[in-house]
Structure 1
Amino acid sequence: MTAPPVERVVSALQALVRVPTVSDRDPARVDTAAFDRLLAELETQFPLLHEQLDLTRVGSHGLLFRWAGASDAKPVVLMAHLDVVPVDGEAPWQHDPFGGEIHDSETGPAIWGRGTLDDKGCVAAICEAVETLLEAGHTPAQDVWLSFGCDEEVSGTAAPEAVAVLRARGVTPWLVLDEGGAIAGGAFPGVTAPLGVIGVTEKGTTSLELVAEGRGGHASTPARNGPTARLARAILRVEKSPFHASAPAPTLELMRRLAPHLPMPVRPVVAPLLDRADRLAPVITRVLLAAGPEAAAMTRTTVATTTLSGSPALNVIASTAKAGLNIRVMVGDTVAGVVEHVRAAIADDSIRIDVVDSGEPSPVSPMDEPFELLESCIGEVFPDAVPTPYVMMAATDSRHFTAISEHVYRFAPFRMTKAQRQAIHSYDEHLGVADLVDGARWYQLLIERLPHD
């Protein structure tokens, strides 16, 4: 395998990070010129890819490339997205979030900036893998499609449009791979080996708004149980009424694979029990609930109160108070069930519940030949990692591709510490230089190992 040039993929990601392609639910607020610059930068950084692959534009700035292989019987879709979330101007970034600068990190030199992990790192690594293979004259065994969305962060239209194009062309992907899991260090207490977590499903994403209304008035004469008080009570009641916790099949399989890597005092006791993990699902669920927020989120539908609004002035009692709830719907739950759970928890008919948007959990993809290909590539590039399925907590564009493929997986081939994972959608997002290079090498290996008919 020809190794990807270190300097090129690093400089490419730096260039992409420096273009602030922030998406917004309101198209009028999107800086389309920034997206234009990003597409031009991609063409400058990866000229062979743009010269030799067929391109279809989707959405406002989404890209769908086709790299013709020796066969089209088992087409593969590699996904990433070009847009990023906004930067909080008050957040304590150590370095310019749109500077793409290289500075030291906890694991060595790293590229710092918004989008390095979510998700321009994957864009650069995929393009680097393809560019390197094109330079070597490689023809993939199967058609390879590159789907780069431009509005993933706002659940936009580019991904559904890409799915529509593929469906119209009769493409049924043998494998779809999007962002999601990673080579995650420190993912489970006491386990020193990193986990190569591959999302075989993802939670549904649903947004509710709680609305309390009243007369309002002057703050000098407050009445009991005004809109803000009732809304605050509703929020606390929801928080005190967690959803039922359980361990779905992918989580049980994760625990089986994890067992040999548990700390020695625990391993001899737990490992034999995990052979009967399905019977011990309640015990495993309790263990995950106690293992921290990341592990606990694998067991249930979660609710986070994310937005609040009330009075426009300090001396005015709100006539309308609102709270936004971001809900991640667990495999096995439904949006309708979630709404009823929230309604029952609030137990207040004066609080209106509006469904802002809704999304059911994705189907669970099988762990057969496509999954095994991902495992084998992880084993070669990251030999110390434990490949395992898991339920992805966040939403990705890949959920739309479940309509045309049953083999949809979520994995970004980068080593990520716990601190790095916490920086996604937060401050100090960064990706190690060596980790970016390994990621490009992983995508290249995946393409080289695509099966022949």
Structure 2
Amino acid sequence: MTDAAPDLPRAVAKLQALVRIPTVSYREPDQVDTAAFEAFGAELERQFPLLHERLELTRVHTHGLLFHWRGASAARPVVLMAHLDVVPVEGPWQHDAFSGAVVDGQVWGRGTLDDKGALVAVCEAVETLLEQGFTPAQDVWLSFGCDEEVFGEASVRAVELLRERGVAPWFVVDEGGAIAHDAFTGVVRPIGVVGVTEKGIMSLHLTASGRGGHASTPARNGPTVRLARALVRLDRSPMATSLPGPTLELFRRLAPHAPLALRPLLGNAERLAPALRRALTALGPESAAMVRTTFAVTTLRGSPALNVIAGTATAGVNIRIMLGDTAASVVEHVRRVVADDQIDIEVVEAYEASPVSPYSTAGHRDEAFALLEETISEVFPDAVPAPYVMMAATDSRNFAEISERVYRFAPFRMTKAQREAIHSYDEHIGVADFLDGVRWYQRLLERLPA
């Protein structure tokens, strides 16, 4: 069934086998190695034979997969999501990015955290339960996208298929939050953060144009200078801060575990919001991103040669839109702070912030969110479960069209260094942490109410 070595649990060997297949996504279809994606599908079937034998499989878009596991009831179906594609490899990896090497109790490789780890953990939990003859209390759908990293079509098509079949999920769980260690200054306990919404995402091109010419006779305020001035203005003029409801609830839950000096501030976050917003922006980029729309200059394009003045200079800006802001208000802000009619602003793509899914508070218990919390507490008893606003974008944003409860949580312990390795180099997951993730998915499926 697997290539598990005698000293490795079979689930780890399965993760290794699938990490070794370079399913890299690109926006341009002709760059995609379709053979790798086909090999991944074949290997997935080899590693999880019962899942493929007993669940109904629908292939979605190019290489997406949608499995249907019939439960005792179809009244409150559940969707578990993951994606099989990964971003390209760069940087000085300690171990080959597609080796799946196990070194010092860690599985190394692109996708171990984002997002093959979750995909394999879901499949292993289902495979184990199938071996035990288990039937879930509710229908379960497994939706595995193949182009999440490039904002592709697979999840959109999966939603269309479910809608056509009349499936309105009780809740959806995709990647996103984690059992986050070192997540908040002074809080020693890990935080089991469950994303109840995610920021919107927008990409802009800012372009300055001019005559260009020979570098020996430069004119003042050429395209590159005007573009640089626009970027500096944007960097110095962030949008206003805010503290949405999920963030206030996160702080309320963290207050008892924070340093004594911070407890009054976090415990009274709503009343002391202005001071808290100022404190968070001062604590660093991760904290600041919790309270405002962010702008990141990511690409620059100018002259084709050192001795040629650029006729056109373009910067790509990646924006994560805070709840309360909109794509339109972001563009308005950029125009106002750049204050240069000669800078062209092109919207490349724009997705608004996702709706906020129900979550439990001191005065209200949501059954679905409580199920996630209780499963977190069972498998990770040291963690503080809490809702939060997810900074990144996931395929699950599309599922908000058919479900009001879309949650973003990967049941793995992650240090700050591990979180920083996602989309960077040296991505890895602890063997024990991965196995805990398998156990979390299994317990979630076993706990589905009738």
- Any conservation in 1 of the 2:80–2:174 contact (CA below 8 Å)? yes
In structure 1, what is the Cα distance between the partners aligned to 2:10 and 2:239?
47
CA distance 1:305–1:241, change in 2 (3 Å): same
Q: Which amino acid aligns with 2:154?
A: A
1:282 offset after TM fit, Å? Answer: 1.4
1:287 offset after TM fit, Å? Answer: 2.2
Runs (4+) off by over 3 Å: 264-267
Q: Are residue 125 (structure 1) and residue 126 (structure 2) matched?
A: no
In structure 2, what is the Cα distance between the partners aligned to 1:421 and 1:178?
17
Q: Are residue 192 (structure 1) and residue 188 (structure 2) matched?
A: yes
Count, aligned residues: 438
Show the 5 A alignment for 1:24-423.
Answer: 24-88=26-90, 91-104=91-104, 109-267=105-263, 269-270=264-265, 274=267, 276-367=268-359, 368-423=366-421
1:270 offset after TM fit, Å? Answer: 3.7
In structure 2, what is the Cα distance between the partners aligned to 1:351 and 1:152?
31
Q: Deviations over 1:172-208 (max 9, x none)?
A: 0001000000000000011100000000000011000
1:284 offset after TM fit, Å? Answer: 1.9
Q: Deviations over 1:352-401 (max 9, x none)?
A: 00000000000000011111000000000000000000000000000000
- Any conservation in 1 of the 2:181–2:416 contact (CA below 8 Å)? yes
Q: Deviations over 1:96-150 (max 9, x none)?
A: 011110112xxxx110011100000000100000000000000000000000000
1:46 offset after TM fit, Å? Answer: 0.5
Across the aligned residues of Structure 1 and Structure 2, the Cα RMSD in angstroms comes to 1.0
1:265 offset after TM fit, Å? Answer: 4.5
Aligned to 2:426: 428
- Any conservation in 2 of the 1:111–1:430 contact (CA below 8 Å)? yes
Aligned to 2:12: 10
- Any conservation in 1 of the 2:265–2:276 contact (CA below 8 Å)? no
Q: Which amino acid aligns with 2:441?
A: Y
Q: Report the secondary structure of 2:351's partner residue.
A: coil
In structure 2, what is the Cα distance between the partners aligned to 1:407 and 1:283?
31
- Any conservation in 1 of the 2:173–2:406 contact (CA below 8 Å)? yes
Q: Which amino acid aligns with 2:380?
A: F
In structure 1, what is the Cα distance between the partners aligned to 2:34 and 2:369?
37
In structure 2, what is the Cα distance between the partners aligned to 1:270 and 1:305?
33
Q: Report the secondary structure of 1:421's partner residue.
A: helix
- Any conservation in 1 of the 2:255–2:262 contact (CA below 8 Å)? no
In structure 2, what is the Cα distance between the partners aligned to 1:14 and 1:67?
25
In structure 2, what is the Cα distance between the partners aligned to 1:293 and 1:448?
39
- Any conservation in 2 of the 1:178–1:411 contact (CA below 8 Å)? yes
In structure 2, what is the Cα distance between the partners aligned to 1:421 and 1:194?
13
Which ranges of structure 1 fall in alignment gaps of 5 or more residues? Answer: none
- Any conservation in 2 of the 1:6–1:437 contact (CA below 8 Å)? no
In structure 2, what is the Cα distance between the partners aligned to 1:231 and 1:265?
44
In structure 1, what is the Cα distance between the partners aligned to 2:221 and 2:331?
24
TM-score by length of 2: 0.96
In structure 2, what is the Cα distance between the partners aligned to 1:207 and 1:80?
24
1:280 offset after TM fit, Å? Answer: 1.7
- Any conservation in 2 of the 1:247–1:282 contact (CA below 8 Å)? no
In structure 2, what is the Cα distance between the partners aligned to 1:82 and 1:323?
30
In structure 2, what is the Cα distance between the partners aligned to 1:58 and 1:293?
37
TM-score by length of 1: 0.95
In structure 2, what is the Cα distance between the partners aligned to 1:289 and 1:398?
28
- Any conservation in 1 of the 2:71–2:139 contact (CA below 8 Å)? yes
1:288 offset after TM fit, Å? Answer: 1.7
1:29 offset after TM fit, Å? Answer: 0.7
- Any conservation in 1 of the 2:292–2:322 contact (CA below 8 Å)? yes
1:283 offset after TM fit, Å? Answer: 1.9
Seq. identity, %? 70
In structure 2, what is the Cα distance between the partners aligned to 1:270 and 1:372?
26
1:6 offset after TM fit, Å? Answer: 6.0
1:321 offset after TM fit, Å? Answer: 0.6
